[in-house]
Structure 1
Amino acid sequence: MNEVEELSKIDVKSLPPLQPILLNDLHQQVLKNLYLELGTGPVLYLLSPSYSIITPTPNETINDFLSKNEDLLNYVKEYIIQNLAVYSSLLDVNSYFAEQNNCLVLARLRERDSGGRRYEIKFYTHSPRELMTNYKDKIYIGRDFIDLFHFRRKYLGVKELVNSVKDQYEVLLDKAEEKLNEPMEYKSFFQEIKESVNELRNESLVILQSLPPYLDFNKLKGKDLIEINAQYRTINHFLIELTDEVSEFENLLHYNKENNFVRYVTKYKKDLANAISYFNIKIMGCLNDKILNLKFKH
């Protein structure tokens, strides 16, 4: 964990200006109540919305970082929420859990060997009253990926999403070896899921190569939008098929009381469900709206 060290290298003035985006009430409230989790060495620090350290006891490194980088952290938090507003449905589909907790959301950053540029972010929500006493009871609501120097995402972020599904399957395999009582009993399930994951990734990459990396709605004709929408829908179908297989596996694990492992499968299924919602709401929802409201260009 080296997020503190990597962020320390960034001059906030070198980052691209934040674009003015009108956030809805949910995103505004989450921004106001957003906690950050940043690592330095083996220690993960939980920071309040005002950047006081909740846990653990701070050392000189984190204190020095916080005293010098409030503007940077303000930028990072708003950048995270803007990305969620544009390239994710994570907060939308988990709004019930977030609002039950007064929109308290934790964002755990993981730097991706990019010199402080790119991060994977895991999001959790937690009861404000029990955050200090029962931190482990936090609810996982999903993950996203940001590039601090490049907001706009090629292929609407789908390529990175698909790669993440494959990466998280590999993590799941490692957890299975560690947590399952008899891993070989579930060999057929792992094989089926692996085949679906590979099919999703391989077919998606082929489809994406046929699509424009960025959509310019001023130049695209109606027939182009219809075709693009159909191609993204095909990728979504692969996600749905994979989710069905993961759900079947999850149910079996619950039945067999594999409690030490099943929670990792549930988290994986949450990522898949969030991805499907993103396709339905933000990608195909937007494209369908454009199709319905666009005068057909001959």
Structure 2
Amino acid sequence: MAHRTKRQHFVPRFYLKNFCDADGYIWTHDSRRGDARRSTPENTGLETNIYSPEVEDGERFDEIEEFLAKTEGAAAPLLTRLSNSEKLDADEKAAMALFIASMFVRSPAQIRQFAALAGDMASWITAMQVECERNSKQKSGEDTKLEEVVLDYLGREDGLKLNVDRRAGLMGFVQLEPISRLIENMTWSFEVSKDVELITSDNPVFWVASEKIPRSPYGFGLAHRLAVVPFPLSPSLILRIDHGNPQPWRNHHLDKRRAKLANKMRAEHKDHCLYYRTHHDGLHQLGMKYPKPVQQVDFGYSGPKVNVVRKLKN
């Protein structure tokens, strides 16, 4: 039997090494446990078989984990160059964009959100089917009381509760290519922090608006002209990915206020873990302040409450 990887990192080890101290250790603040611990990248940011769901006869579907390993292999030397503020050529940028996109869809926070999206879609499809049945009965003069009751029930958050297997969130990988293309075609530059140590998390890739915009029920997409991906490369450097920056591949100073804001956004978007080089009470307080990640994936449908569970029971 071929060797397979059971201990699967949702944050790659070579990426975490950029945030290690001189002894090769990194701090993890876990908001679920309410504590911080120091460990090596080998023992940080991982879960058993998170990308290898069980299929027929107890076998594991390992194609996602194998794909991620290849993507990481191509990205590792490029991350080193970016960490030195070096410009990438077109092919290198495409390879790195694929890696950054994979960091988004592979994170536990996004897997959970994609699973919840699957639940919302199932509820919506069911409601549409019931509505079609009601409309058909109305045309033929039949009683539609049952359909009306069901539609009302499906439209209430306090009514039906839907459990969804977290593994359904692996469908997010079908969005990898379009997300990668968007990132590749955006403008890349660097932000350097000299006064504040930058942190990362178990959900290191997300996008925010560069200025305040009206809230939409459908969320805020990466293709929006104001979308910015602040991807931390090290405790002193962020790769800024945005639309139309007139100074690509340039180093820009990140002042103290904006560096603190970058760490705050990291805490808001984390699943439950922050990773950093130097521990202090301020980071503990920051990690505990935001218990749930910002909703990045949204179907815009209001219906039954969706509860994502690690594994559905038979």
- TM score, norm. by length of structure 2: 0.27
- TM score, norm. by length of structure 1: 0.28
The structure number with the bigger radius of gyration is: 2
Say which structure is richer in helix.
Answer: 1
Say which structure is richer in strand.
Answer: 2
